[in-house]
Chains A and B, each alone.
Chain A
Amino acid sequence: MQGKSDLRGEETEVTVTRRVVAGIESRIGRELSAKMGGDISDLKIGRGMVRLRTERPSLLKLCRLLRDAMEFDHLSLLSAVDWDDRFEVVYHIFSYTNCCTMEVKVSVPKDDPRIDSVTPLWEGANWHEREAYDMMGIVFTNHPDPRRILLPQEYEYFPLRKDFKMDLE
């Protein structure tokens, strides 16, 4: 059984006292482009938000960098989008330290819809990824529990794909 003593005791609480610090976004952006170089593209700086695009092979490297070196510790949202020519997985990663949100978009080709799972980094991604598989049919490799989550296990379709038409009257 876990006891209260198991908790890390040095700091009494995480101090998220700051609102979004002025200039933190561009600092993060500069740091990222220095470290990732050509692996990221489309870097956009918004209010409290950094948006960028990366490719499948460099996703895990980027995520590891974000989590370990830049204190992005909370994966708040993982959404899958079905575009005409590709799937897109969008990660919204949040930092409790500097209140900055990172939006990472990764394209996944339609004929090979697989992508590395980030669950080993953020356990919170577990169910998000299961949901993305359930709804969109994107396979997350190395996922610990790759089953459907909302729909029955034996269901054959991926209902959020655009070619799955809803019966409207």
Chain B
Amino acid sequence: MAEMWINMGPQHPMTHGLWNLRVKVDGEVIVDAMPEIGYLHRGMEKIFENKNYTQIGPITDRLCYGSSITWNHLYCMTVENLIGVEVPERAKYIRVMAIEIQRIASHMMWLAAYAADIGLLAGFVLAMRDREIMVDLLQMLSGSRLTYNYSRIGGVAADLPPEFERDCLRAIDFFEKRIEEHETLYRDSKIFLMRSEGLGILSREDAINLGVTGPTLRASNVKYDVRKHNSYEVYDEMDFEVQCHSDCDVYGRYVVRMNEMRESCNIVRQALKKMPKGPVRVKTPMYAPEGDAIGRVEDPRGEGIMYVIGDGTDKPYRLKVRSPLFVTLSAAKKMLVGYKVADVVSIMGSIDVCMGETDK
């Protein structure tokens, strides 16, 4: 068979959203790859410039449907950095806890999507089932199930509901047992190892140079986590390990994510334990001063950054979003070339694609 271009997407089950992966194949072997994005572009950054700071909050939820709390929090944190507000202690702890619950939910959704990609439908169904636990917790916190809009500039929307601590601890304990169950489904499966080991190798140098972040970077053997090494909110008071893996392949990414979920459970527990009493929100001015600020968080998919420029009005002059997957996708060619067409799903599934934040 001669070399030919195959369009995987924009409507293809592998893509998990609207994007197009053009792969050039020689028979079944990939010789070139070209991701094309923009199908979901909503002009977020232009919208931000035309809304005031309060109105932007709910829009940032829509950046990524998989981890909306993280993005919402990132926005609030960036604006707080700009106007120089100190958030109450309790709000910081609540934020950390909510982010970690969201991280588990997001990783669970990744696990479900990835399992479906490699044809393990049991993994899909069971992971989606267990994600519900986390979504229920977030629903208790914020009242909604997908776009939570929980963080506000200067704190969080509401204090913990009554009995939340008890329910949360119970859910986390239950969930930790469930993770073990999920692991058995993958770790003990020879076919899963055949489909993940040695695939999509992204060496350490390439990963750093290509700007890849998050679990993909850590699976390429770089022990870097914004939470630990550029700590924000109260992460420096939390005791957790940065997960990394030396395999640089799809399996490494899987291991990193699974272990991160366990660490997140720990962090939630610690946050609940150390949480002080007090207010959860302070009043903030409507108008931001002139100047610029950046906020940097560890999104479930990588390093999320917002760069905000204020001009003294109630609207940001410029709000730039750095979405982790935007950069990770540009590394797709490096990960794909040399492997088989059937591996595309496994490799692209392993980076946890979310088009909402990529296309902005």
Q: Do A's and B's CB atoms come within 8 Å in the complex? A: yes
Query: How many A residues, CB 8 Å from partner?
Result: 50
Q: Is the CB of A77 within 8 A of B309?
A: no
Please tell me which one of the listed residues A12, A18, A90 contacts residue B221 in the complex, with CB atoms under 8 A apart: A12
Chain B 49-62 interface 0/1 with A at a Cβ cutoff of 8 Å (1 = within): 11000000000000
Chain B residues whose CB sits within 8 angstroms of the CB of A160 once the complex forms = 45-46, 49
Chain B residues whose CB sits within 8 angstroms of the CB of A127 once the complex forms = 326-327, 329-330
Nearest-neighbor residue (CB-CB) of B340 within chain A: A1
Instruction: Answer whether residue B298 sits at the interface, using C-beta atoms and an 8 A cutoff.
Output: no
Give CA–CA (A90, B213) in the complex, Å.
20
Instruction: Answer whether residue A45 sits at the interface, using C-beta atoms and an 8 A cutoff.
Output: no
Tell which of A75, A128, A150, A168 has the most Cβ of chain B within 10 Å.
Answer: A150
Nearest-neighbor residue (CB-CB) of B200 within chain A: A2
Instruction: Answer whether residue B322 sits at the interface, using C-beta atoms and an 8 A cutoff.
Output: yes
Q: Is the CB of B50 within 8 A of A166?
A: yes
Give CA–CA (A7, B249) in the complex, Å.
11
Given A79-B307, A79-B320, A96 and B208 contact (CB-CB distance below 8 Å): yes
Given A4-B248, A92-B305, A150-B359, A14 and B203 contact (CB-CB distance below 8 Å): no
Please tell me which one of the listed residues B198, B205, B331 contacts residue A8 in the complex, with CB atoms under 8 A apart: B205
Chain B residues whose CB sits within 8 angstroms of the CB of A76 once the complex forms = 211, 213, 296, 303, 305, 322
User: Smallest CB–CB gap between A167 and chain B, Å?
Assistant: 10
Q: Is the CB of A75 within 8 A of B211?
A: yes
Instruction: Answer whether residue B201 sits at the interface, using C-beta atoms and an 8 A cutoff.
Output: yes
Nearest-neighbor residue (CB-CB) of B202 within chain A: A2
Give CA–CA (A150, B330) in the complex, Å.
13
| Pair count A-B, CB < 8 A | 134
Tell which of B229, B326, B331 has the most Cβ of chain A within 10 Å.
Answer: B229
Chain A residues whose CB sits within 8 angstroms of the CB of B236 once the complex forms = 19
Q: Is the CB of B246 within 8 A of A73?
A: no
Chain B 193-222 interface 0/1 with A at a Cβ cutoff of 8 Å (1 = within): 000001001011100111111000000011
Instruction: Answer whether residue B162 sits at the interface, using C-beta atoms and an 8 A cutoff.
Output: no
Q: Is the CB of A79 within 8 A of B224?
A: no
Please tell me which one of the listed residues A90, A96, A125 contacts residue B307 in the complex, with CB atoms under 8 A apart: A90
Given A15-B223, A166-B46, A2 and B201 contact (CB-CB distance below 8 Å): yes
Chain B residues whose CB sits within 8 angstroms of the CB of A20 once the complex forms = 230
Chain A residues whose CB sits within 8 angstroms of the CB of B313 once the complex forms = none
CB pairs A–B below 8 angstroms (19 shown): A3-B201, A7-B201, A7-B203, A8-B203, A13-B221, A13-B244, A14-B223, A16-B224, A75-B211, A76-B296, A76-B303, A90-B307, A101-B296, A103-B294, A123-B330, A124-B211, A127-B330, A148-B38, A166-B50
Q: Which residues of A contact B (CB under 8 A)?
A: 1-4, 6-8, 12-20, 48, 73-77, 79, 81-82, 90, 92, 96, 99, 101, 103, 122-128, 131, 135, 148-152, 159-160, 164, 166, 168
